[in-house]
Chains A and B, each alone.
Chain A
Amino acid sequence: KAGVTQTPRYLIKTRGQQVTLSCSPISGHRSVSWYQQTPGQGLQFLFEYFSETQRNKGNFPGRFSGRQFSNSRSEMNVSTLELGDSALYLCASSRATTDTGELFFGEGSRLTVL
């Protein structure tokens, strides 16, 4: 069974640009959540999508947005990039009902903003 796939794995952008990251969950998983990982702030929850609807949102500015498609694949977008957006962005998937609570993570997308 394929794991969570994130693309691209690495990317470099400049301030003011926008970026879109993609996440394909494990087959059958309908919940996709996104986390930002930085050395200073650690792991922070961005948002979670389930059945194409945002179910939870973390404390991030509106420049951070996401969506989920009918096949459960998800994208997140960051507009007007700032230097502080440089981070590892992790996607995680899980079944709809958290009977175990376990999330399955992808390898992440490493974003560098210059």
Chain B
Amino acid sequence: AQTVTQSQPEMSVQEAETVTLSCTYDTSENNYYLFWYKQPPSRQMILVIRQEAYKQQNATENRFSVNFQKAAKSFSLKISDSQLGDTAMYFCAFMTHNNAGNMLTFGGGTRLMVKP
């Protein structure tokens, strides 16, 4: 079974600064996806960024980037130039890359507060 751990329950950052959210996971699978999902106070979960395990290059989406360390089973999210709208719960998630279906295993989440 897969497990995902987010060791930072809460974090805060000043607007325009950079913050890094940590995530570690445990799996015996070799092919999988890793995700960061954002859940703003309105509750709808949206995808922030996605990484395929077979890709060595770290994924980047505008101000969001990841540091994927496959051997260490680490998948951190860096948010640059933080904005007030980044305030949300952030969930790290894992999905096995096979045809068995779509099932996400989530970490416990990190509540991020961006301060003006």
Contacts and interface: CB of A to CB of B under 8 A. Distances in A.
A56 B96 CA distance: 13
A101 B45 contact: no
Nearest to B47: A102
B97 A105 contact: no
Nearest to A90: B45
Contacts of B103: 33, 45, 48, 56, 58
A45 B101 contact: no
A108 interface: yes
Interface in B1-55: 33, 35, 37, 42-47, 50, 52
Nearest to B37: A105
B45 A105 contact: yes
B104 interface: yes
Interface residues of A, number: 27
Contact of B106 (A43, A56, A100): A43
Contact of A101 (B46, B97, B107, B109): B97
Nearest to B34: A101
A94 B99 CA distance: 13
B102 A101 contact: yes
A45 B44 contact: no
Interface in B46-103: 46-47, 50, 52, 91, 95, 97, 99-103
A76 B52 CA distance: 31
Nearest to A47: B103
Interface of B: 33, 35, 37, 42-47, 50, 52, 91, 95, 97, 99-109
20 contacts: A42-B108, A43-B104, A43-B109, A45-B104, A48-B101, A55-B100, A56-B101, A56-B102, A92-B45, A92-B102, A101-B33, A101-B102, A102-B47, A102-B50, A103-B47, A103-B104, A105-B44, A105-B45, A105-B46, A107-B44
